[in-house]
Amino acid sequence: MQAKPRQPATPAEALSAMDHLIATSMIGQQEMAQQVGLNVTDLTCFGYVIEADEDLLTAGDLAARAHVTTGAVTGILNRLERAGYVTRRPDPTDRRRVRVAAEPDAEARIRELYEPYYARLHALFAEYSPAEVAVLTDWFTRASALAAGYLEEHCRTDWAPPPPPPHPPKKNHNPPRLPPFLLLLPPVAPTVGVGLATPSVR
Protein backbone atom coordinates (compact mmCIF):
# COMPACT_ATOMS: atom_id res chain seq x y z
CA MET A 1 0.00 0.00 0.00
CA GLN A 2 1.23 3.50 -0.88
CA ALA A 3 1.95 5.67 2.18
CA LYS A 4 -0.55 8.48 2.66
CA PRO A 5 0.58 12.03 3.36
CA ARG A 6 0.69 12.62 7.14
CA GLN A 7 0.50 15.84 9.09
CA PRO A 8 3.89 16.81 10.57
CA ALA A 9 4.15 16.07 14.29
CA THR A 10 6.69 16.78 17.01
CA PRO A 11 7.88 14.23 19.59
CA ALA A 12 5.87 16.14 22.22
CA GLU A 13 2.70 15.74 20.13
CA ALA A 14 3.41 12.03 19.62
CA LEU A 15 3.94 11.54 23.37
CA SER A 16 0.71 13.38 24.12
CA ALA A 17 -1.18 11.08 21.74
CA MET A 18 0.48 8.08 23.39
CA ASP A 19 -0.48 9.32 26.86
CA HIS A 20 -4.12 9.61 25.84
CA LEU A 21 -4.05 6.10 24.35
CA ILE A 22 -2.56 4.70 27.56
CA ALA A 23 -5.13 6.53 29.70
CA THR A 24 -8.00 5.19 27.58
CA SER A 25 -6.48 1.68 27.68
CA MET A 26 -6.14 1.77 31.46
CA ILE A 27 -9.77 2.79 31.93
CA GLY A 28 -10.88 0.19 29.39
CA GLN A 29 -8.80 -2.48 31.09
CA GLN A 30 -10.53 -1.76 34.40
CA GLU A 31 -13.92 -2.02 32.71
CA MET A 32 -12.99 -5.30 31.02
CA ALA A 33 -11.67 -6.73 34.27
CA GLN A 34 -14.93 -5.89 36.04
CA GLN A 35 -16.93 -7.60 33.30
CA VAL A 36 -15.06 -10.88 33.76
CA GLY A 37 -14.85 -10.68 37.56
CA LEU A 38 -11.07 -10.20 37.82
CA ASN A 39 -8.81 -7.42 38.97
CA VAL A 40 -6.58 -5.70 36.42
CA THR A 41 -3.38 -7.45 37.49
CA ASP A 42 -4.97 -10.90 37.29
CA LEU A 43 -6.48 -10.15 33.89
CA THR A 44 -3.11 -8.90 32.63
CA CYS A 45 -1.41 -12.08 33.84
CA PHE A 46 -4.08 -14.18 32.15
CA GLY A 47 -3.33 -12.26 28.95
CA TYR A 48 0.30 -13.36 29.23
CA VAL A 49 -0.84 -16.96 29.69
CA ILE A 50 -2.96 -16.72 26.53
CA GLU A 51 -0.10 -15.08 24.62
CA ALA A 52 2.26 -17.96 25.51
CA ASP A 53 -0.17 -20.42 23.87
CA GLU A 54 1.32 -23.95 23.97
CA ASP A 55 4.70 -22.73 25.24
CA LEU A 56 3.36 -22.78 28.79
CA LEU A 57 4.81 -20.30 31.25
CA THR A 58 6.20 -21.17 34.66
CA ALA A 59 5.18 -19.11 37.67
CA GLY A 60 8.61 -17.46 37.52
CA ASP A 61 8.11 -16.56 33.85
CA LEU A 62 4.79 -14.93 34.69
CA ALA A 63 6.25 -13.02 37.64
CA ALA A 64 8.99 -11.61 35.39
CA ARG A 65 6.56 -10.53 32.68
CA ALA A 66 4.14 -8.88 35.12
CA HIS A 67 6.89 -7.35 37.26
CA VAL A 68 5.58 -8.92 40.47
CA THR A 69 7.33 -10.96 43.13
CA THR A 70 7.17 -14.75 43.11
CA GLY A 71 5.09 -14.56 46.27
CA ALA A 72 2.61 -12.21 44.60
CA VAL A 73 2.34 -14.40 41.50
CA THR A 74 1.37 -17.37 43.69
CA GLY A 75 -1.64 -15.40 44.92
CA ILE A 76 -2.50 -14.37 41.38
CA LEU A 77 -2.42 -17.97 40.17
CA ASN A 78 -4.47 -19.13 43.14
CA ARG A 79 -7.19 -16.60 42.31
CA LEU A 80 -7.14 -17.41 38.58
CA GLU A 81 -7.33 -21.13 39.30
CA ARG A 82 -10.23 -20.74 41.74
CA ALA A 83 -12.06 -18.61 39.18
CA GLY A 84 -11.60 -21.28 36.50
CA TYR A 85 -9.19 -19.36 34.29
CA VAL A 86 -6.02 -21.47 34.55
CA THR A 87 -4.75 -24.88 35.56
CA ARG A 88 -1.27 -25.70 36.82
CA ARG A 89 0.52 -28.64 35.23
CA PRO A 90 3.75 -30.38 36.24
CA ASP A 91 6.73 -29.47 34.08
CA PRO A 92 7.59 -32.66 32.12
CA THR A 93 11.32 -31.87 32.31
CA ASP A 94 11.45 -30.70 35.93
CA ARG A 95 8.86 -32.08 38.34
CA ARG A 96 9.72 -29.38 40.88
CA ARG A 97 8.21 -26.73 38.61
CA VAL A 98 4.68 -26.19 37.37
CA ARG A 99 3.49 -24.58 34.18
CA VAL A 100 0.33 -22.55 33.69
CA ALA A 101 -2.28 -23.35 31.04
CA ALA A 102 -5.38 -21.32 30.12
CA GLU A 103 -8.75 -22.99 30.49
CA PRO A 104 -10.36 -23.10 27.01
CA ASP A 105 -13.73 -21.74 28.13
CA ALA A 106 -12.11 -18.84 29.99
CA GLU A 107 -9.86 -18.03 27.04
CA ALA A 108 -12.90 -18.02 24.75
CA ARG A 109 -14.66 -15.50 27.04
CA ILE A 110 -11.66 -13.16 26.97
CA ARG A 111 -11.26 -13.45 23.21
CA GLU A 112 -14.95 -12.64 22.77
CA LEU A 113 -14.36 -9.35 24.57
CA TYR A 114 -11.09 -8.34 22.92
CA GLU A 115 -11.21 -9.70 19.37
CA PRO A 116 -13.66 -7.07 18.03
CA TYR A 117 -11.27 -4.39 19.30
CA TYR A 118 -8.27 -6.07 17.68
CA ALA A 119 -10.24 -6.38 14.43
CA ARG A 120 -10.63 -2.60 14.43
CA LEU A 121 -6.92 -2.18 15.11
CA HIS A 122 -6.11 -4.47 12.18
CA ALA A 123 -8.37 -2.34 9.98
CA LEU A 124 -6.53 0.77 11.18
CA PHE A 125 -3.14 -0.79 10.38
CA ALA A 126 -4.42 -1.48 6.87
CA GLU A 127 -4.43 2.29 6.30
CA TYR A 128 -0.64 2.38 6.71
CA SER A 129 2.05 1.19 4.31
CA PRO A 130 4.28 -1.78 5.21
CA ALA A 131 7.16 0.65 5.79
CA GLU A 132 5.03 2.70 8.19
CA VAL A 133 3.89 -0.42 10.05
CA ALA A 134 7.55 -1.44 10.34
CA VAL A 135 8.37 1.92 11.95
CA LEU A 136 5.43 1.59 14.34
CA THR A 137 6.47 -1.95 15.28
CA ASP A 138 10.05 -0.85 15.87
CA TRP A 139 8.93 2.04 18.07
CA PHE A 140 6.49 -0.06 20.10
CA THR A 141 9.11 -2.78 20.60
CA ARG A 142 11.80 -0.37 21.73
CA ALA A 143 9.40 1.64 23.90
CA SER A 144 8.22 -1.58 25.58
CA ALA A 145 11.82 -2.50 26.37
CA LEU A 146 12.40 1.00 27.72
CA ALA A 147 9.29 0.76 29.93
CA ALA A 148 10.34 -2.66 31.22
CA GLY A 149 13.79 -1.32 32.06
CA TYR A 150 12.31 1.67 33.85
CA LEU A 151 10.05 -0.58 35.92
CA GLU A 152 13.00 -2.80 36.80
CA GLU A 153 15.00 0.24 37.84
CA HIS A 154 12.34 2.02 39.85
CA CYS A 155 10.12 -0.80 41.15
CA ARG A 156 12.67 -2.99 42.92
CA THR A 157 11.66 -5.42 45.65
CA ASP A 158 13.88 -3.48 48.07
CA TRP A 159 12.04 -0.27 47.28
CA ALA A 160 11.39 2.14 50.13
CA PRO A 161 9.93 5.65 50.06
CA PRO A 162 12.55 8.41 50.00
CA PRO A 163 13.24 10.26 53.26
CA PRO A 164 11.41 13.57 53.70
CA PRO A 165 13.33 16.74 52.82
CA PRO A 166 15.08 18.47 55.73
CA HIS A 167 13.04 21.62 55.19
CA PRO A 168 9.52 21.95 53.76
CA PRO A 169 9.84 22.67 50.04
CA LYS A 170 8.71 26.02 48.78
CA LYS A 171 5.23 25.91 47.37
CA ASN A 172 5.21 25.85 43.60
CA HIS A 173 2.36 27.99 42.34
CA ASN A 174 2.85 26.72 38.79
CA PRO A 175 3.39 22.95 39.09
CA PRO A 176 4.16 21.06 35.87
CA ARG A 177 1.15 19.53 34.18
CA LEU A 178 1.21 15.74 34.50
CA PRO A 179 0.43 13.57 31.49
CA PRO A 180 -3.14 12.22 31.79
CA PHE A 181 -2.08 8.59 32.29
CA LEU A 182 0.02 9.53 35.34
CA LEU A 183 -3.05 11.05 36.96
CA LEU A 184 -4.79 7.67 36.66
CA LEU A 185 -2.07 5.50 38.21
CA PRO A 186 -3.45 3.68 41.29
CA PRO A 187 -1.58 4.16 44.59
CA VAL A 188 -0.07 0.67 44.74
CA ALA A 189 3.25 -0.37 46.25
CA PRO A 190 5.87 -0.92 43.53
CA THR A 191 6.47 -4.51 44.64
CA VAL A 192 2.87 -5.38 43.74
CA GLY A 193 3.09 -4.11 40.21
CA VAL A 194 0.53 -4.09 37.43
CA GLY A 195 0.94 -4.56 33.70
CA LEU A 196 0.73 -1.48 31.56
CA ALA A 197 -1.62 -3.26 29.19
CA THR A 198 -2.98 -6.69 28.59
CA PRO A 199 -0.85 -8.64 26.11
CA SER A 200 -2.27 -9.27 22.69
CA VAL A 201 -5.06 -11.84 22.50
CA ARG A 202 -5.30 -11.67 18.74
The yes-or-no verdict on residue 191 having pLDDT over 90 is no
| Tens digit of each residue's pLDDT (9 = 90 or more) over 113-166 | 999 999 999 999 999 999 999 999 999 999 999 988 888 787 654 444 445 555
CATH topology of domain 19-154: Arc Repressor Mutant, subunit A (1.10.10)
In degrees rounded to 5, what are phi and psi of residue 112?
-60, -35
Q: pLDDT, tens digit, for every residue of 54-109? A: 999 999 999 988 888 889 999 999 999 999 999 999 988 888 889 999 999 999 99
The CA-based dihedral angle spanning residues 180, 183, 188, 194, taken in that order and rounded to the nearest 10 degrees: -10
> Is the overall model pTM greater than 0.85, yes or no?
no
The amino acid present at 142, given as its one-letter code, is R
C-alpha span between 77 and 59 (Å, rounded): 8
User: Whose CA is closest to 148, among 201, 100, 193, 200?
Assistant: 193
Please write the tens of the pLDDT for every residue from 110-128.
Answer: 999 999 999 999 999 999 9
Domain boundaries, the chain: 19-154
**Mean of pLDDT values over 13-18:** 95
The Cα–Cα gap between 144 and 52 comes to: 17
CA distances from 93 to 51, 98, 171 (A): 22, 10, 60
